[in-house]
Structure formats: C-alpha cells, structure tokens
Structure 1
Amino acid sequence: MEVTKVQQACKTTKLRTIFLGYLVMFCIGTIALALFLVLIFYVLMSCGTILPANYAENQVRADKTIIEAGKTLQPDSRQKLYKYASFTSEGRLNEGNLSEKQAQTAWSVTQQNDTAYQFPYNYVKVSHHDKVTVMRYSVSAQFELPILRQYLPNAELSFFAVFCIAFLGGGALLASSFGRKLARKMSGLQQATKQIQAQDLDFSIEFSGVMEIDQVLHSMDKMKETLKTSLQKQWNLERSRREQISALAHDVKTPLTIVRGNVELLSETDQSEEQKNYTDYISESTRQMEQYIKTLIEISKAETLVTLRAETMDADFYLTKVKDQILALAAVKKISVAFAAYNLPKTLYADPVLLERAIMNVVSNAVDQAPEYSEIQLTVESVEDCIRFSILDEGPGFSPEGLKQAAEQFYMGDSSRRLSGHYGMGLYITKSIVNLHGGKLIIANSTQTGGGQVSIKIPLRSLPI
C-alpha cells in the first residue's frame, strides 16, 4: 500500500498566541486612537477652532456686568455661546433668542435663586430696575463656527462619538482579519474532510502551523491511513468473495448439465402420470437453476444485476406458472400453500425471469423456516399504485437484527440458517431485482402467525391494466 507523506509545518503557533496578538494590536490601536483624538482636540482648542468649556460662562459673567450697568446686549454676535430672554418684573416676555417655551422654563427655574441648573443648562438671572434678563448656557467645549455649533453642540461628545465609531470599525476589521486568517489555517482541515468523505485517501495533509489545528490534522492523518488499510482489506475480501462465487457458479454448471441431460432421457421413458409430474418439476427446477447461475455469474463479474428485460405478460398464466413452482417446492417439506388474489390487472409488465426469481427466493426462505405440515400463504393484490406479492409463513419469524439486515449481502442470521445451506444472497438478490423494477421489499413479522412476512411491491404505473 502506498504511504502518503505528510507535509509538516516547520513551526507551530498556539491559537491563543494568535488571538492574543490580535488583542494586543486592538488595544494598542485603541490607545493610539484615543491619544490621537485628544491631541487633535487640544490642537483645535489652542488655535481657537474649539472654544473651552468655560467660554460661555465667562461671556455670561461679562454680559451680566453690562446688564447691571443698564447697557444693551448684542446676543446675535458670532461669539455669543449663550441664549437669553428679557422679562418684565411680572414675568412677561419682552425679547430674546429663546423660544417662548424655553423662556418660560428659564423664568420658572430662576424664581428661587438667581442661579440655577436644570440638565443640561445653567441659568443666570440679572435684574435692572423693572427689567429681568435670564441667560442660559452649557458648560462644555463648543466649536467656534456657528454652523458646527448648530449640528454639533458639544465638541467633546462629538469627539467621543468619533472615537466610538472608529473603535467599533477597528474591532470589526480586526475580527474580520482574524476570521479570514483562521479560515485560511483551517482550509487544510476542510479539504481533508471533503476528500475523506469522497473516499479519496491518496492525498497529503498540509499542516497549518497552528498547534491545535495541526493536532486535529495529525489525528485525521492517522484515521485516514487506518481507514485506507481497512478499506483495502474490505475491497480485497469482497473481490475474493466475488471470485469464489464466480468459480463456484461455473463448477455447479457441470453437474447441473448432467442432471438436465438425464432428466431429458428420463422424460423419454414410459412413466406414469405421477412420475411425469415429478420429472417436469425436476426439469423446470433445472431450468431455473441454470438461469440463476447465469445471473450469479453476471453479478460477480459486473457487480450489478443484469439489465431489466421487461415484457407484457398474461397475469393469470404467469401466476399459475409461479404457483406450480411454489407447490413443488413446498411439497418437499409437506407444507400446504394457500393462494389468494384480489383486484389483479389482466397483464403484468415486468421481467418474467427476474420477478419469478425474486418470488421464489422469498418462498424458498419461507419453506426453510416453516415447520413440516404448516402452511404458507401467498397473497397477490393491487394496493394503491402497486401490485403486491406477500408471502407469510408459520416459522419463528425474523429476529430484531434480521428485520434490519436480512436483505444485506452475505447476511446469514443465526446458525440454523447457515446449517440449512443459506449463504446470505437470497433476499439480497430479491431486493436488487425489486429495485430494478422501481419497487420496494418489505420485511416484517406477521401478527397473525408470528412467522416471517415478506412483501414485494412493484409500481403499477408501468403495469397496463
């Protein structure tokens, strides 16, 4: 047997080492991103693009002095980071850049104290004569450009949002990279699995360089070699069996030819009516045996059944012929046969030789298992879209194992079956014939007699009625 060399990687790395490498890379990237954003933030703040968090508060303090001095404010200036509302001493809104609802909120929160806080704003109340001004501001860094303040009112939160987006994006990229690398490392494992499933065992396993994956690949390599050895032994044994079956079939042809010749000579002598019937039984059985041997040789050579040669047959004539063969076979053990037929078509479309062989194989098994003076029942009927041949005996029935494996090749069941001359081919060949017809073989135990009940179902779609 050919020995396949294994391509071993020079150096292996643990999977956790690879994972930790990606984790360290992710952590370093996160820290670098945070430092970069902080640096950018302070650079923008130093050049005035971002105003400090207390910028609005300082403006409020300065303008509070202006209001208390009785001067007029200019709140629409570009650098004003607060909003205000001007009221009468009774609380009637005069002017300001707060909406009416916002102004009422500002008036309410400053009734108890001149300064107040209500998330997220701070409020400062300034009174001058009968005029009251309430200024609202937030303590947070803001962009210097008004358009940026409109859409990004909090510069710190804006940078934090950028950090979160970059954090999640970087994590997704690293996870994708790790997944692709792991998939590449596992490609050898997937390839080995596919080739083993396809029963192609002549391949070299390529190791990945990852310790955990290579351990699995090494185990698969051992399993592959063991499986290859086992299959080789099985193939050799199967070939030996086919050769033995073929040789035995050829050897049997010689004595069978002698029997057929003597039967023909015997049929030419003066015989009683009973003797002629016996001679006819022997002649017909010899013909069947020759056909069986011919089919068996073809099976052993081609490993498949012969080609289906279906033809249209008269149903009554064909069943009568099969019935005569069954009666002759059952008479050897003094077994009676009960026939029943229901709703049969006038013609059958099947291979007459193969179908007869399938039925006789089942009947032969039933005769071998049934006790003397018992009864075998053969029922032929149309059921739904099939014609069914059902053979029931009064023997011990199938064992639980036999119900599952009786139709497998070379299955011989218990020792009594082997002693009675069975070699595990009868039901196997029957199942193969039934499959050729597109039918189904059903193996069960009868609830009526406790014996075996084997049914052959052939589709009616190919059977003209």
Structure 2
Amino acid sequence: MEVTKVQQARKTTKMRTIFLGYLVMFCTGTIALALILVLIFYVLMSCGIILPANYAENQVHEDKTIIEAGKTLQPDSRQKLYKYALFTSKGRLIEGNLSDKQAQAAWNVTQQKDTTYHFPYNYVKVSHHDKVTVMRYSVSAQFEPPILRQYLPNAELSFFAVFCIAFLGGGVLLASNFGRKLTHKMSGLQQATKQIQAQDLDFSIQLSGVMEIDQVLHSMDTMKETLKTSLQKQWNLERSRREQISALAHDIKTPLTIIRGNVELLTETEQSEEQKNYTDYIAESIRQMEQYIKTLIEMSKAETVATLQTETINTDFYLTKIKDQVMALAAVKKISVVFAAFNLPRTLYIDPILLERAIMNVASNAVDQAPEYSEIRLTVESAGDCIHFSIVDEGPGFSAEGLKQAAEQFYMGDSSRRLTGHYGMGLYITKSIVNLHGGKLIITNSTETSGGQVCIEIPISVSPTS
C-alpha cells in the first residue's frame, strides 16, 4: 500500500505570534495616524487655515473694550467668529446676527452674570448707556475659510472624526486581512476534510506553517493512514470473500448436477410409493439448492457492478434479441408475449449487457407471476429525452408494501410477489443497473390488467462519435 507523506512547511509559527503581529501593526498604525493628524493640525494652524481655540474669545474681549469706551465698532478685515444681539435696557431686540430665539436665550442666561457659560457657548454682556450687547462664542479651534467653517464648525472635532473613521477603517482592513490569511492557512485542513468525506484517502496533507493548525493536520494524517489501512484490509477481505463464494458456488454446481441426473434416472425405475416420495424430496431439495447457488452468484455479480461499458448499438437489432429471449422465457409456461415499439431512435448509447440483464430480470419476475396461457406486454417507446422499457403481467400485482420496497436488496416481505427460489435480488440488481445509466426504475400496478407493471426509464445518450 502506498503511504502518502505530509508535505512539510518551511517554518512553523504559533497562532498567538501571528495575532500579536497584527496587534502590533494595528497599534503602530493607530499611533502613527494620531501623530500625523496632530502634525497636520498644527501645520494648518501655523499657516492660518485653522484658528486657535481662543481666537473668538480674543475678538470678543477686544470688541468689548471698544463698546465699553463708547466707541463705534469699525469694520475689520477679519471675519468675526462670534455672534451678537443688541438690546435696549428693557430687553427689546434692536439688531444682531442671532435669531430671535437665540437672542432671547442669550438675554436670559446673562441676567445673573455678565460673563457666563451655557453649553455649548460662552456669553459676554456689555452695557453702555441704555443699550446692551450680548456676544456669543465658543472656545474651539475653527477653520479660517468660511466654507469649511460652515460645514465643519469645530476643527478639533473634525480631526477627531477623521481619526475615528481611519481607526475603524484600519481595524476592518486588518481584520479582513487576518481572516483571509487564517482562511488560507486552514485551506489544507478544509481540503483534507473534504477528501476524507469523499472517501478519497490518496492525497498529501499540506501543512499551513501555523503550529496549532499543523498539530491538527498531523493528527488527521495519522487518522487518514489508519483509516486507509483498515479500509484496504476490509476491501481485500470483501473481495476475497466474494471470490470464494463465487468459486464455491460454481464448484458445488457440478456434484449437484450429477445428483440431479441420478435422481432423474431413479424416477424412471420402478419404485414403491414411499420411494417415489423420497425421490421427490431429494429432487425438490436439489432444486432449492440450485436456486440458493444462483442467488449467491447473483449477489457476487451485483457487488462487482461498478462501471458501464457503453457502446453504440442498433436499436432494432438489440430489441429483436431482447424480444426473442423474453418469448423463449415465456414459452415454458405457454405465456404469449405482446411486443410494441414507438418513436425509437436508430441507435442507443448504453451498456447492452447490463441493460439486457436488467430487462430480463424484470421479464423473469413477470413470467413467474403470470399464470399459464396469460399474456405479457413488452412495450418500448421514447418520450422526450428518455426511452422506456415497460413490462406488464397479468399476475396478482404488487402489494402496497411491495410498491415501496420491491427493489430493495433481500426484500421478501411482499407475499403476493414472493416466489419459491427468489430472494429479493432481481429488482435490486435491475435498479442498480438503471441507476448506473442515470435512469430510474418505476414499479406500479397496471390499471388494465391489475398485474405488476415495471418500467425502466433510461436517458437517450448521444454517442461520443456521433
């Protein structure tokens, strides 16, 4: 027996080492991402694209000083980062860039203190004569370009959002890469499992290079070799057993033939009634033994049917041969055979020997069941992409149980179809042959004769040379 070897990987790594490698890569990438974002933030701040967090607060304090001095605020090239509302001393809104609701809220929160914080804004109230100005601002870094500030009002939160998105994206990419790598490493294990499941033990196990997976693969390889050895021994024993049974069955046929011949000679001599009974007993026992031997031979043949020997044959010539054999079989019981054929192809691509055996098994059962001087109908026709061989007898038909189990091996439970010397092999062998052809065996009772009806349905295959 050929022993396959495990193909060694160049290097073995522990699973935790691979995981730690990805963890270090992830942590390193996270730190590098944070440093890069901080660097970009400070570069943009130094270039003036990002304004510092106290920029709006400085503007407010500068303008507060001007208002308290009674001076008019002059236009400034810098855009104001705060919003304001101008009130009368009674709290009536005069002007401002806060909405009415926002202005009222600003007025309310500055009634107790001139400088206060109410999430998320800071408020500063400046009074001069009979007018009150309330300025609202937030202490956070902001983008200098108005368009960026409109959609990204907080530069720090924007950079934090970018960090979170990049953090999650990096985590997903690393996890996906780790999953693909782990799947690749386990492909040898999956392949070995599929091979063993398919009962194919002639393969070499590919090691993954991961210590934990390779330990499982080594155990599986040992199991595979042990299973292969055990199955090989079992197959050898089964083959030897079949050969011995077949050889013994053929050897026993010779002395049985001699005994039967002598018994037939005895029946031609003058015998008393008691001697005739004994002679009949011997003859019946010999007949049963011959049937037992026939069954043993059929069983051996049934177990060896494995592949088809297909060839292209002439349909008419083949069916003529089948019809003649069925008629010869039926003539013993003086049974007539009605043959009909419809829409047949000119050639068939089948195993002629196996299919002939299947048809004759069905015909033999029909002849055994049919009473003398009755009729058997053999019909062959093509329908769609299949050819149908139907045999109908005028016997008692199948029982409900027989319709379900008649094609099972050694089935003998159907008393309506059980015959002396038959041991549940005929239809089982037929079904095996039909399955090899990719067809199906249909067992029913005829609605016309009430007898058994067995149909062999075979796909019409095309010859490779046609």
Following superposition, the deviation at residue 379 of structure 1 comes to 6.2
**Alignment pair present for 1:85 and 2:85:** yes
- Please name the residue that 1:335 is paired with: none
SS of residue in 1 equivalent to 2:444:
helix
**Alignment pair present for 1:34 and 2:40:** no
From 301, 307, 310, give the equivalent of 2:362. 310
What aligned pairs does 1:4-403 form with structure 2 within 5 A after superposition? 4-73=4-73, 79-269=79-269, 283=283, 286-303=286-303, 307-308=357-358, 309-311=361-363, 312=366, 317=371, 347-348=396-397
- Please name the residue that 1:413 is paired with: none
Q: Flag structure 2 segments of 5+ consecutive residues without an equivalent.
A: 306-353, 373-393, 433-440, 451-466
Q: Which residue identity does 1:30 align to in structure 2?
A: T
Q: Distance between the aligned counterparts of 1:210 and 1:233, measured in 2?
A: 34
* Contact preservation (8 Å) 1:313, 1:349: no
**Alignment pair present for 1:461 and 2:436:** no
Q: Distance between the aligned counterparts of 2:247 and 2:443, measured in 1?
A: 38
* Contact preservation (8 Å) 2:371, 2:395: no
SS of residue in 2 equivalent to 1:84:
strand
C-alpha distance 75-275 of structure 1, shift in aligned 2 (>3 A): farther
Per-residue deviation, residues 221-256 of structure 1 (Å, max 9, x unmatched): 111111111111111111111112112211221232
C-alpha distance 54-284 of structure 1, shift in aligned 2 (>3 A): same
C-alpha distance 124-355 of structure 1, shift in aligned 2 (>3 A): closer
Q: Distance between the aligned counterparts of 2:415 and 2:304, measured in 1?
A: 29
SS of residue in 2 equivalent to 1:461:
strand
- Please name the residue that 1:372 is paired with: none
Aligned pair count reads 359
Following superposition, the deviation at residue 205 of structure 1 comes to 1.8
Q: Distance between the aligned counterparts of 2:163 and 2:258, measured in 1?
A: 99
Per-residue deviation, residues 27-82 of structure 1 (Å, max 9, x unmatched): 11100000000000000001100000000100110111122233344789652111
C-alpha distance 151-274 of structure 1, shift in aligned 2 (>3 A): farther
Task: Return the TM-score normalized by structure 1.
Answer: 0.68
Following superposition, the deviation at residue 302 of structure 1 comes to 4.8
Q: Which residue identity does 1:105 align to in structure 2?
A: A
Q: Distance between the aligned counterparts of 1:152 and 1:281, measured in 2?
A: 109
Following superposition, the deviation at residue 88 of structure 1 comes to 1.3
* Contact preservation (8 Å) 1:267, 1:279: yes
Q: Which residue identity does 1:147 align to in structure 2?
A: I
- Please name the residue that 2:349 is paired with: none
The answer to which of 305-314 and 119-128 deviates more is 305-314
SS of residue in 1 equivalent to 2:241:
helix
Q: Distance between the aligned counterparts of 2:260 and 2:132, measured in 1?
A: 133
Q: Distance between the aligned counterparts of 2:430 and 2:207, measured in 1?
A: 49
Q: Distance between the aligned counterparts of 1:282 and 1:267, measured in 2?
A: 11
SS of residue in 2 equivalent to 1:209:
coil
The answer to which of 237-246 and 28-37 deviates more is 237-246
Following superposition, the deviation at residue 93 of structure 1 comes to 1.2
Q: Distance between the aligned counterparts of 2:234 and 2:179, measured in 1?
A: 41
SS of residue in 1 equivalent to 2:180:
helix
Q: Distance between the aligned counterparts of 1:108 and 1:272, measured in 2?
A: 138
SS of residue in 1 equivalent to 2:207:
coil
SS of residue in 2 equivalent to 1:204:
coil
* Contact preservation (8 Å) 1:75, 1:83: no
Per-residue deviation, residues 245-274 of structure 1 (Å, max 9, x unmatched): 112211221232133323433444567889
* Contact preservation (8 Å) 1:438, 1:459: no
Q: Distance between the aligned counterparts of 1:176 and 1:356, measured in 2?
A: 53
Q: Which residue identity does 1:154 align to in structure 2?
A: N
- Please name the residue that 1:339 is paired with: none
* Contact preservation (8 Å) 1:78, 1:146: no
C-alpha distance 257-156 of structure 1, shift in aligned 2 (>3 A): same
Q: Which residue identity does 1:348 align to in structure 2?
A: G
Q: Distance between the aligned counterparts of 2:37 and 2:184, measured in 1?
A: 35
* Contact preservation (8 Å) 2:408, 2:427: no
Q: Which residue identity does 2:7 align to in structure 1?
A: Q
Per-residue deviation, residues 341-378 of structure 1 (Å, max 9, x unmatched): xxxx9653799xx979988x858xxxxxxxxxxxxxx8
Following superposition, the deviation at residue 180 of structure 1 comes to 1.4
SS of residue in 2 equivalent to 1:124:
strand
Following superposition, the deviation at residue 133 of structure 1 comes to 1.1
Q: Distance between the aligned counterparts of 2:56 and 2:406, measured in 1?
A: 102
Q: Distance between the aligned counterparts of 1:265 and 1:48, measured in 2?
A: 128
C-alpha distance 75-228 of structure 1, shift in aligned 2 (>3 A): farther
C-alpha distance 75-16 of structure 1, shift in aligned 2 (>3 A): farther
Q: Which residue identity does 2:122 align to in structure 1?
A: N
* Contact preservation (8 Å) 1:84, 1:133: yes
Per-residue deviation, residues 133-174 of structure 1 (Å, max 9, x unmatched): 111110000000111111101000000000011111111111
Following superposition, the deviation at residue 185 of structure 1 comes to 1.4
The answer to which of 97-106 and 294-303 deviates more is 294-303
Q: Distance between the aligned counterparts of 2:263 and 2:292, measured in 1?
A: 19
SS of residue in 2 equivalent to 1:9:
coil
* Contact preservation (8 Å) 1:313, 1:347: no
- Please name the residue that 1:414 is paired with: none
Q: Which residue identity does 2:234 align to in structure 1?
A: Q
C-alpha distance 81-254 of structure 1, shift in aligned 2 (>3 A): same
